[in-house]
Amino acid sequence: MEEEEKNNNEVASPTEQNTESTTEQQPQLPVKITSESKIIVYFKNAGGAQPLKQKKFKIQANVSFQNVIDKLRGQLKLKSNEPLFLFINQVFQPSPDEILGELYKCFSHNDQLIINYSLQMAWG
């Protein structure tokens, strides 16, 4: 009977179990972007593309991704028939009609949107 009492005492109740490993993470607050907002876009080169002298730009949140493509093409002095591939966080190519602010809300990292660019297909 004493052994039975020992075994019962060895089992910890749910309130006595170690709660240190279950730390609560506070949810991230949603990013508030208005049509007047400017967001920080960080361009990273890859796949043989030349690096930009200035890598960070503040761009209106309400512009389309096509606008970003056109501006980057101008910065790199590329002709319209030369290939240019842009990726968000090295993962996917957004549609040209995507709004930059929406991409920022979903994929920003450290308060900036990272856009990788290449002259050849590098990811995807």
pLDDT, one tens digit for every residue, the chain (124 residues) = 544 444 444 444 344 444 444 445 444 445 567 767 899 999 999 888 999 999 999 999 999 999 999 999 999 999 989 999 999 988 889 999 999 999 999 999 999 999 999 998 765 5
Sign of torsion, CA 66 57 117 79?
Answer: positive
User: How many whole angstroms from its chain centre is CA 111?
Assistant: 9
Q: What is the pTM of this model?
A: 0.70
